[in-house]
Protein backbone atom coordinates (compact mmCIF):
# COMPACT_ATOMS: atom_id res chain seq x y z
CA UNK A 1 0.00 0.00 0.00
CA UNK A 2 1.40 3.38 -0.97
CA UNK A 3 1.40 6.31 1.36
CA UNK A 4 -0.54 9.35 0.16
CA UNK A 5 1.75 12.16 -0.78
CA UNK A 6 1.30 15.54 0.77
CA UNK A 7 1.23 18.63 -1.36
CA UNK A 8 4.02 21.11 -0.90
CA UNK A 9 3.31 24.30 0.97
CA UNK A 10 4.01 27.12 -1.42
CA UNK A 11 4.30 30.84 -0.81
CA UNK A 12 2.73 32.18 -3.98
CA UNK A 13 3.83 35.44 -5.49
CA UNK A 14 1.02 36.37 -7.81
CA UNK A 15 1.16 39.26 -10.20
CA UNK A 16 -2.36 40.21 -11.24
CA UNK A 17 -2.29 42.35 -14.35
CA UNK A 18 -5.77 43.79 -14.88
CA UNK A 19 -7.08 47.32 -15.33
CA UNK A 20 -10.55 46.41 -14.03
CA UNK A 21 -10.80 47.39 -10.35
CA UNK A 22 -13.85 45.21 -9.67
CA UNK A 23 -12.27 42.04 -11.08
CA UNK A 24 -8.91 42.71 -9.40
CA UNK A 25 -10.52 43.23 -5.98
CA UNK A 26 -12.76 40.17 -6.41
CA UNK A 27 -9.79 37.97 -7.28
CA UNK A 28 -7.71 39.20 -4.34
CA UNK A 29 -10.72 38.62 -2.07
CA UNK A 30 -11.06 35.05 -3.40
CA UNK A 31 -7.46 34.24 -2.43
CA UNK A 32 -8.08 35.62 1.08
CA UNK A 33 -11.38 33.70 1.49
CA UNK A 34 -9.75 30.46 0.45
CA UNK A 35 -6.86 31.16 2.87
CA UNK A 36 -4.29 30.74 0.12
CA UNK A 37 -0.87 31.80 1.29
CA UNK A 38 0.67 34.31 -0.97
CA UNK A 39 1.42 37.81 -1.98
CA UNK A 40 -0.80 39.38 -4.59
CA UNK A 41 0.58 42.40 -6.37
CA UNK A 42 -1.42 44.24 -8.99
CA UNK A 43 -0.39 46.04 -12.14
CA UNK A 44 -2.92 47.89 -14.29
CA UNK A 45 -1.18 47.21 -17.61
CA UNK A 46 1.74 45.41 -19.21
CA UNK A 47 4.19 48.27 -18.77
CA UNK A 48 3.65 48.40 -15.02
CA UNK A 49 3.88 44.59 -14.89
CA UNK A 50 7.29 44.61 -16.57
CA UNK A 51 8.49 47.24 -14.10
CA UNK A 52 7.44 44.99 -11.20
CA UNK A 53 8.98 41.89 -12.75
CA UNK A 54 12.30 43.60 -13.47
CA UNK A 55 12.40 45.92 -10.47
CA UNK A 56 12.76 49.02 -12.64
CA UNK A 57 11.41 52.57 -12.48
CA UNK A 58 11.56 52.61 -8.67
CA UNK A 59 9.53 49.40 -8.26
CA UNK A 60 10.38 46.57 -5.90
CA UNK A 61 10.99 43.38 -7.86
CA UNK A 62 8.38 40.68 -7.26
CA UNK A 63 10.26 37.60 -5.98
CA UNK A 64 10.13 34.15 -7.53
CA UNK A 65 8.43 31.77 -7.78
CA UNK A 66 5.62 33.78 -9.30
CA UNK A 67 2.50 33.23 -11.32
CA UNK A 68 1.09 35.89 -13.61
CA UNK A 69 -2.64 36.30 -14.15
CA UNK A 70 -2.92 38.49 -17.23
CA UNK A 71 -5.98 40.25 -18.62
CA UNK A 72 -6.17 40.60 -22.39
CA UNK A 73 -7.52 44.12 -22.96
CA UNK A 74 -5.60 46.82 -21.09
CA UNK A 75 -4.33 50.31 -21.89
CA UNK A 76 -0.72 51.08 -22.91
CA UNK A 77 0.34 47.42 -23.27
CA UNK A 78 -2.26 44.66 -23.56
CA UNK A 79 -1.92 41.07 -22.40
CA UNK A 80 -0.65 39.63 -25.69
CA UNK A 81 1.97 42.38 -26.01
CA UNK A 82 3.08 41.74 -22.42
CA UNK A 83 3.46 38.00 -22.99
CA UNK A 84 5.41 38.69 -26.20
CA UNK A 85 7.78 40.90 -24.19
CA UNK A 86 8.13 38.21 -21.51
CA UNK A 87 8.99 35.51 -24.03
CA UNK A 88 11.72 37.71 -25.59
CA UNK A 89 13.34 38.46 -22.22
CA UNK A 90 16.01 35.98 -21.11
CA UNK A 91 15.18 36.39 -17.41
CA UNK A 92 11.38 36.38 -17.75
CA UNK A 93 10.71 33.98 -20.63
CA UNK A 94 9.90 31.05 -18.34
CA UNK A 95 7.24 32.98 -16.43
CA UNK A 96 4.13 30.98 -15.61
CA UNK A 97 1.32 32.91 -17.27
CA UNK A 98 -2.42 32.38 -17.24
CA UNK A 99 -4.52 34.58 -19.49
CA UNK A 100 -7.71 35.56 -17.63
CA UNK A 101 -10.07 37.45 -19.90
CA UNK A 102 -13.68 38.23 -20.71
CA UNK A 103 -12.92 37.38 -24.33
CA UNK A 104 -13.97 33.95 -25.55
CA UNK A 105 -12.88 34.64 -29.14
CA UNK A 106 -10.95 31.76 -30.70
CA UNK A 107 -8.30 34.09 -32.16
CA UNK A 108 -7.55 35.46 -28.68
CA UNK A 109 -7.19 31.96 -27.27
CA UNK A 110 -4.92 30.90 -30.14
CA UNK A 111 -2.76 34.01 -29.77
CA UNK A 112 -2.29 33.30 -26.07
CA UNK A 113 -1.51 29.60 -26.53
CA UNK A 114 0.89 30.43 -29.37
CA UNK A 115 2.85 32.34 -26.72
CA UNK A 116 2.90 29.27 -24.46
CA UNK A 117 0.54 30.35 -21.69
CA UNK A 118 -0.19 27.74 -19.05
CA UNK A 119 -3.91 28.27 -19.59
CA UNK A 120 -6.57 30.57 -20.99
CA UNK A 121 -9.37 31.15 -18.50
CA UNK A 122 -12.58 32.97 -19.38
CA UNK A 123 -13.64 35.18 -16.48
CA UNK A 124 -17.23 34.00 -16.82
CA UNK A 125 -16.07 30.38 -16.46
CA UNK A 126 -14.03 31.31 -13.39
CA UNK A 127 -17.19 32.70 -11.76
CA UNK A 128 -17.91 36.15 -10.44
CA UNK A 129 -16.32 35.44 -7.09
CA UNK A 130 -13.19 33.86 -8.65
CA UNK A 131 -12.95 31.23 -5.90
CA UNK A 132 -12.52 28.37 -8.37
CA UNK A 133 -9.72 30.27 -10.10
CA UNK A 134 -7.95 30.97 -6.80
CA UNK A 135 -8.17 27.29 -5.81
CA UNK A 136 -6.94 26.21 -9.24
CA UNK A 137 -3.89 28.49 -9.08
CA UNK A 138 -3.12 27.26 -5.57
CA UNK A 139 -3.39 23.60 -6.62
CA UNK A 140 -1.29 24.23 -9.71
CA UNK A 141 1.49 25.81 -7.64
CA UNK A 142 1.49 22.90 -5.19
CA UNK A 143 1.95 20.15 -7.76
CA UNK A 144 4.29 21.67 -10.36
CA UNK A 145 7.95 22.54 -9.97
CA UNK A 146 8.14 26.27 -10.51
CA UNK A 147 11.31 27.84 -11.95
Let me know if 21 is exposed, middle or buried by CB neighbors in 10 A (0-12, 13-18, 19+): exposed
Could you tell me the residue ranges of all domains in the chain?
10-102
Predicted local distance difference test score (pLDDT) of residue 85? 97
Number of neighbouring beta carbons within 10 Å of residue 77: 18
Range 68-96 average pLDDT: 94
Predicted local distance difference test score (pLDDT) of residue 7? 53
pLDDT band of 11, cuts 50, 70, 90: confident
- pTM score, two decimals? 0.89
pLDDT band of 39, cuts 50, 70, 90: confident
pLDDT in tens, 91-118: 999 899 999 999 999 999 999 999 999 9
Answer whether CATH 2.40.40.20 is correct for domain 10-102. no
Q: 146 or 56, which is more confident? A: 56
Helices 131-143 and 21-33: crossing angle, nearest 10°?
Answer: 60
Contacts of 96 (CB under 8 A, 6+ apart): 65, 66, 67, 68, 118, 144, 146, 147
pLDDT band of 10, cuts 50, 70, 90: low
Beta carbons of 122 and 130 less than 8 angstroms apart = no
Amino acid sequence: MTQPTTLRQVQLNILLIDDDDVDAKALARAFRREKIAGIIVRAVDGIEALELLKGTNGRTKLPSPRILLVDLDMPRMNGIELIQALRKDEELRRSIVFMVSTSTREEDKRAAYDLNVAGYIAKETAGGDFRSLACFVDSYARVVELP
